[in-house]
C-alpha cells in the first residue's frame, strides 16, 4: 500500500507508555471475560482477537477524558507503525467525508487512541485482550498495535493492507453511529439469538464499508499488488468460525456475533466491487 511516511494525523491520540489503566484494578478483566462468555457481546470474542463495536466493557470511575493527552505530536516522527495508522485513519475518513458530502451530509471524524495493555474509554476499561474496538459513547477507535502481530503470526494475515482493513472496519462502526444505525448497549444482552443476528449484520456492514474504502484506494492508485488479498485474509481471519476453531476447538454458530469467515469476506468484497455505500444495506 502506498502511503506518506511523513503524514501526521491530528486525530490520533497516543496513550502508549503513559502508565495506562489496569483493567484488573477495577475488576475489568474478570467482568469482561464473564460478559464475553455469558452474553457473547458484539465486538468481544474469547481467546484474543476481535474486531467490532463495544457498548460497555467494565466499570470506570472518573472522567476518561482527563486521563489522556490529546497532543498528536506525541506520535514520534520515527514511529512508523503509528504513522501508518494515522495515515490510514485520515485516508479512510476523507473517503467518508466525500461520500457524506455527496449525500448532503456532514461527516464528523472519529479519534483513534493508541494504547498499551489497557485503556479507559467512554465504554469502560478496555484491555488489549479485547483487540481493536470502537466505542460509540465517545466516538473513538481504540487499538493496541500488538494486535497486528497476533493477526499476522497466529492467524496468518500479515501485511499493511490487512492492518488498514482493521482500521477501516472500526471506522465503519463510526459511520453507523453517525447515520444513527446503533442500538443501546443494554439492549444487546436481551433476546440473545435475535440480538446476535442483529450484531452480525452490523459487523458485516462494517466490513462492507471497509470494502467501499478499499475501492476508493484502487481508484486513486494507492493499492499495490497483493493488497486486496491481504485484506481478504484479514477478514477471513476474524470470522467467528475461524476464531472459535482456533480458541475453542469447536464451532458454535448459535453464539456468533460477527459472522463466519465466508460471510465477512463476501461483505468486504461487496463494498470493494461496488464502491457504493448503498450496496452495504441488508437485502
Radius of gyration of the chain (CA): 17
pLDDT score recorded for residue 186:
40
| pTM of the predicted protein model | 0.77
Residue 82: per-residue pLDDT: 92
Angle of helix 80-102 versus helix 192-219 axis, rounded to 10: 100
What is the bridge-based pairing of β-strands 140-143 and 111-114? parallel
Q: Would you list the DSSP string of the chain?
A: ----TT---SSEEE-TTS----TGGGTHHHHHHHHHHHH--TT--TTS---SB-S--S---S-GGGG----GGGS-TT-HHHHHHHHHHHHHHHHHHHHHHHTT----PPEEEE-SSEEEETTEEEEGGG-SEEETTTTEEEE-THHHHHHHHTTS--SHHHHHHHHHHHHHHHHHHHTT----TGGGGSSHHHHHHHHHHHHHHHHHHHHHHHHHHHHTT---TTHHHHHHHHHHHT-HHHHHHHHTSS--GGG-SS--HHHHHHHHHHHHHH--GGGGS--
Mean pLDDT estimate for the chain: 77
Q: Does the pLDDT of residue 89 top 90, yes or no?
A: yes
**221-246 pLDDT, tens digit each:** 887 778 888 888 888 887 888 888 87
Bridge partners of residue 152, in order along the sequence? none
Query: What's the burial of 237, exposed, middle or buried (CB within 10 Å: 0-12/13-18/19+)?
Result: buried
Q: What pLDDT was estimated at residue 222? A: 83
**What is the rounded distance in angstroms from the CA atom of residue 236 to the CA atom of residue 241?**
9
Q: 268 with 231: CB under 8 angstroms?
A: yes
Spans of all domains in the chain: 12-201
Cα atoms found within 13 Å of the Cα of residue 15, Cβ hemisphere only: 27
Provide mean pLDDT across the span 184-200: 62
Listed residue (172, 165, 117) closest to 141, CA to CA: 172
Residue 95 scores a pLDDT above 90:
yes
Amino acid at each position: 500500500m502506498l502511503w506518506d511516511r511523513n503524514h501526521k494525523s491530528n486525530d490520533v491520540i497516543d496513550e502508549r507508555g503513559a502508565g495506562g489503566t489496569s483493567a484488573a484494578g477495577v475488576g475489568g478483566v474478570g467482568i469482561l471475560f464473564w460478559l464475553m462468555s455469558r452474553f457473547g457481546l458484539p465486538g468481544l470474542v474469547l481467546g484474543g482477537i476481535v474486531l467490532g463495536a463495544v457498548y460497555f466493557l467494565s466499570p470506570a470511575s472518573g472522567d476518561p477524558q482527563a486521563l489522556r493527552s490529546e497532543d498528536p505530536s506525541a506520535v514520534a516522527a520515527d514511529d512508523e507503525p503509528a504513522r501508518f495508522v494515522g495515515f490510514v485513519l485520515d485516508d479512510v475518513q476523507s473517503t467518508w467525508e466525500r461520500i457524506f458530502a455527496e449525500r448532503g451530509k456532514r461527516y464528523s471524524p472519529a479519534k483513534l487512541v493508541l494504547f498499551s495493555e489497557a485503556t479507559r474509554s467512554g465504554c469502560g476499561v478496555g484491555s488489549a485482550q479485547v483487540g481493536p474496538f470502537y466505542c460509540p459513547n465517545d466516538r473513538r477507535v481504540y487499538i493496541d498495535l500488538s494486535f497486528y502481530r497476533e493477526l499476522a503470526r497466529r492467524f496468518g494475515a500479515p501485511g499493511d493492507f490487512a492492518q488498514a482493513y482493521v482500521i477501516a472496519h472500526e471506522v465503519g462502526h463510526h459511520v453507523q453511529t453517525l447515520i444513527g444505525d446503533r442500538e443501546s448497549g443494554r439492549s444487546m444482552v436481551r433476546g440473545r439469538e435475535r440480538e446476535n443476528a442483529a450484531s452480525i449484520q452490523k459487523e458485516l456492514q462494517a466490513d462492507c464499508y471497509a470494502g467501499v474504502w478499499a475501492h476508493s484506494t484502487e481508484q486513486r492508485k494507492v493499492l499495490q499488488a497483493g493488497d486486496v488479498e491481504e485484506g481478504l485474509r484479514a477478514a477471513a481471519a476474524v470470522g467467528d468460525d475461524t476464531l472459535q476453531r482456533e480458541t475453542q476447538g469447536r464451532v458454535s454458530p448459535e453464539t456468533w456475533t460477527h459472522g463466519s469467515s465466508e460471510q465477512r469476506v463476501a461483505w468486504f468484497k461487496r463494498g470493494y466491487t461496488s464502491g457504493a455505500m448503498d450496496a452495504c444495506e441488508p437485502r
